[in-house]
Amino acid sequence: MTTEAMPQREHTQDAALPQGIGRLTPGWIVFFAAMAAVTAIGMYAYFLQVTNGLIVTGMRGLGTMLGATWGLYVAYYVYFIGVSFAGITVAALIRIFRITKLEPVARIGELLTVVSLILGALAIMADLEKPWRAVVNLIQYGRPQSPFFGTFTMVIAGYLFASLIYLYVTSRRDAAILAEQPSRFQKLYRILAAGYEDTPSQRIIDRRATFWLALAIIPLLVIAHSTVGFVFGLQVGRPGWFGALQAPGFVVLAGVSGIGNLIMLAAIVRWATNTRDRITVDAFAWLAKLLLGLLITYLYFTVVEVLTVTYQAGEVERTLSDALLTGTYAWIFWGAIVSLISAAVLLIWQAVTRKWSIGLIFAAGALVNVGAVAKRYLIVVPSQTHAQLLPYPTGSYTPNWIEWAVVLGLFALGALMIGVFMKVFPIVPLEEAE
């Protein structure tokens, strides 16, 4: 065989792989190039930040510098970590309660969790002027009194690693199936399959392992998301952050944004991989009901929070709530509320009529994510600019192009990771016939 003929043969063999694996369509190449370009711009912006320092961003010191030290990066760190919640939760619930209708979206959820955790870790690294120092110092000097100990050990390390293991364990069978047919990824599939044999006893072993993993991951993720809430909620000197509702609020909003993202990603995957017969409207209806329950809980938390700070709050809390409800941040706050309530109305209407539309569920997923991003921003920023206990004037913070470029670069990187995964491995678990 000539060397020219080999790629052609590999290409033909790849055509036999399911879900468009290995086939680089013009649409996918355009998507890849666009996302790579945005990622490159983000990396350039980050390079400028690392070489010149955080002074090139819109962030400034608290108090005398009238700024905010935590800005867009921390808001998106919280958002990305929140998104990671739903993927693995849904995947775990599917295994524990054997919700067969949701099985086709399980791997999408697992992948979403892994990718968003990586993006969350990168977002918090972007917030640090010298990130390498943080890595060394957290390992060397981290101590349990600091919520960052939990963020580092539970979220970045434990949660990410557990999710990767879960993704691997649940993917071995598909790797073994794909390893049987010749393709350019055959070696990779063989390595991933690690000698997997699809026997009844192996299936029992897999089911048992994933069940216990799921049981271990669910408390881990509740602790992990609570820990992120504690980073804010335990700061007694920071009105707007200090409060018992922060941790549960973080967990619930994490669920809202995560399931919203899972719905959107599942709809895109369903369209891109032509798996309409696998990812059914029923699966979306399940996710929509789950989203609705969490959304109503979060809206209740919001009402309680607003009532508490407006009923009989101290002076600084009053200044903060005025900034949120009628002042500088009012458009973001009410924008978030309108987004969340609109999503709730969309979902309730479908639940009442019992007619579920993927388009409307997708819209609800997008709306809750707009609301979640805005709420994350409002949790992070206003308490720094409008809630000083010391007699400093009111501050301000506006993210500049460097920060937006880095954040957009992170989104593009996440899209790239998912896009590349879809071209290498089935993102929807294979059926027996495949």
Partner 1 sequence: MNTRTIVTTLMVLVGLGLMVVSYVFLATPTCNTSIACSNPVMPFSAGIFVVGILIAFTSAIFYTVYKGSE
Residues near partner 1 (CB under 8 A) are 138-145, 149, 152-153, 157-158, 161-162, 165-166, 168-169, 172, 194-195, 201-202, 204-206, 208-209, 212-213, 216
Residue 192: CB minimum distance to partner 1, A: 11
Residue 165: CB minimum distance to partner 1, A: 5
21 or 224: CB nearest partner 1: 224
State both tokens at 236: 């007694």
231 or 269: CB nearest partner 1: 231
168 or 331: CB nearest partner 1: 168
* Amino acid identity for residue 72 in this structure: L
The dihedral sign for the CA sequence 23, 26, 27, 32: positive
Q: Residue 195, by phi and psi: left (phi above 0), alpha (psi -120 to 50) or beta?
A: left
Residue 137: CB minimum distance to partner 1, A: 9
196 or 333: CB nearest partner 1: 196
**Rg for the chain, CA atoms, rounded:** 23
CA distances (Å), origin 314, targets 235, 306, 391, 410:
16, 14, 15, 39
192 or 283: CB nearest partner 1: 192
Residue 126: CB minimum distance to partner 1, A: 21
Taking a C-beta distance cutoff of 8 angstroms, is the pair 404, 38 a contact?
A: no
87 or 414: CB nearest partner 1: 87
* Residue in 385, 396, 291 with CA at minimum distance from that of residue 340: 291
The dihedral sign for the CA sequence 338, 344, 350, 356: positive
State both tokens at 136: 């060394």
216 or 281: CB nearest partner 1: 216
Residue 101: CB minimum distance to partner 1, A: 25
Residue 204: CB minimum distance to partner 1, A: 7
24 or 191: CB nearest partner 1: 191
**Would you call 332 exposed, middle or buried from its count of C-beta atoms within 10 A (0-12, 13-18, 19+)?**
middle
149 or 404: CB nearest partner 1: 149
Largest CA distance in the chain: 83
Residue with tokens 């959304």: 295
166 or 329: CB nearest partner 1: 166
201 or 353: CB nearest partner 1: 201
Q: Report d(CA 177, CA 244) in Å as an integer.
A: 49
Taking a C-beta distance cutoff of 8 angstroms, is the pair 360, 419 a contact?
A: no
Residue 404: CB minimum distance to partner 1, A: 32
Residue 198: CB minimum distance to partner 1, A: 13
- Which residues are CB-contacts of 284 (< 8 A; sequence separation ≥ 6)? 263, 266, 267, 356, 358, 361
Residue 194: CB minimum distance to partner 1, A: 5
Taking a C-beta distance cutoff of 8 angstroms, is the pair 416, 36 a contact?
A: yes
Residue 324: CB minimum distance to partner 1, A: 35
Taking a C-beta distance cutoff of 8 angstroms, is the pair 375, 253 a contact?
A: yes
Residue 111: CB minimum distance to partner 1, A: 18
**Would you call 120 exposed, middle or buried from its count of C-beta atoms within 10 A (0-12, 13-18, 19+)?**
buried
Taking a C-beta distance cutoff of 8 angstroms, is the pair 76, 408 a contact?
A: no
DSSP state of 291: H
* Residue in 397, 418, 422 with CA at minimum distance from that of residue 118: 418
Taking a C-beta distance cutoff of 8 angstroms, is the pair 364, 260 a contact?
A: yes
